Amino acid sequence: MSAPLASGTESRGDLVRQAFWLEWLTIAWMLVEAAVAIWSGYVAHSITLLAFGFDSVIELFSAGVLIWRLTTELRHGQTFSEQAEQRASKIGGALLFALAAYVVASAAWSLWTQRAEEFSMPGLVVALVAIPTMYFLAKRKIALAEQIGSRALRADAVESITCGWLSVMVVLGLTAQYFIGAWWIDSVTSLGIVWFLVKEGREAWAGEECCDSCH
């Protein structure tokens, strides 16, 4: 973490505590999002919803790392080692690459076998709610990251932005599936998610370099 950038009446401790509770809010929502998306995807045999749900699980991991980091600073006045943070980022990146490979393989299999997926109302609802939720979380995380000079928090904000775009893809796919009913829509929209997964995975794997480029 770079030097504190806090200004105005709020101390660095106050800003770190805000970020701490923002990560707990992220975890609370991601638990709901992951559970609903994975369950809905399993029931409807939807690759798009399953990918959306597994991405939420990866974001839970990221939020957990941030809570660890912020708790350490609140308790000891310093962050844990950069090496530990970079290692966690690389694990998250590897998981995202694996998820992207799963989506491509599953979509290819569904297109080859012409396997139809069912429309999922719970999946559509959770994706709709996720769009404004991710916008709020990402905007607030970026503001706090700039104030306290945290590359890790800014990287986590980028993941929230990606999750928001994934939500848009899910909504578009499920809406088209509902009105058109074509068997191939879920497979095609799931492939559209791959770009976001690979992009987010590269940023997580790059670690410090990626986070610095976000400024």
pTM above 0.85, yes or no: no
Q: According to the model, what pLDDT value does residue 33 have?
A: 95
**In whole numbers, what is the pLDDT of the chain averaged over residues?**
80
Supply the pLDDT for residue 111.
Answer: 78
Domains of the chain: 15-213 (1.20.1510)
- Asked whether 157 and 7 are in contact (CB, 8 A), the reply is no
Handedness of CA 168, 170, 176, 182 (dihedral sign): positive
The runs of H, that is alpha helices, within 78-150 are 82-113, 121-148
**pLDDT tens across 171-210, in order?**
888 888 888 877 787 778 778 788 888 887 887 787 654 4
Q: What are 120-139's pLDDT values in tens digits? A: 899 999 999 999 999 999 99
